[in-house]
């Protein structure tokens, strides 16, 4: 494993997506969060995620947020690069600005929205969609 890749794995492991926990309708978004309109690539990524998971959803029902210019954002569960939330308006996905166009991070959170779970069932995240750091980097 190259030095860069090893360093990346260490950093990413430390800020794992392992606690992409949904919160209740009264939960606030991370500090500095702003809503954004996703690029066309997000629609293609959503379709890819629907296909690999065998689940379906409505792309337009997801509200998208970013914390601009950051590697991670703070949550009650620790630093995150992405997070799926259930809100009073429906689903919300929050991304750290530095990962806003990172396909794996975005699709990982989309998969949470599609399967309606905070946990990481291996059948979806590893076997079907390869949307973990380990499976993404191995591919």
Domain ranges of the chain: 3-138
Q: List, for residues 109-121, the tens digit of each pLDDT value.
A: 999 999 988 889 9
Count of CB atoms situated within 10 Å of the CB of 127: 11
pLDDT digits (tens, 9 = 90+) for 49-85: 999 999 999 999 999 999 999 999 999 889 999 999 9
**pTM, two decimal places:** 0.80
CA distance 107 to 89: 21
Cα dihedral sign, 7-4-38-114: negative
Lowest-pLDDT choice from 17-31, 48-62, 84-98: 17-31
Residue 127 DSSP code: I
70 membership: H or E segment, kind and range: none
């Amino acid at each position: 494993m190259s030095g860069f890749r090893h360093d990346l794995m260490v950093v990413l492991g430390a800020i794992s997506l392992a606690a992409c926990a949904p919160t209740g309708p009264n939960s606030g978004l991370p500090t500095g969060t702003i809503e954004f309109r996703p690029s066309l690539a997000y629609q293609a990524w959503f379709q890819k995620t629907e296909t690999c998971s065998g689940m379906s959803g409505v792309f337009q029902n997801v509200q998208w947020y970013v914390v601009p210019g950051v590697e991670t954002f703070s949550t009650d569960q620790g630093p995150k690069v992405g997070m799926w939330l259930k809100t009073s308006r429906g689903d919300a996905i929050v991304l750290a600005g530095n990962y806003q166009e990172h396909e794996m991070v975005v699709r990982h959170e989309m998969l949470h929205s599609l399967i309606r779970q905070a946990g990481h069932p291996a059948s979806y995240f590893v076997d079907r969609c390869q949307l973990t750091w380990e499976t993404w980097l191995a591919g």
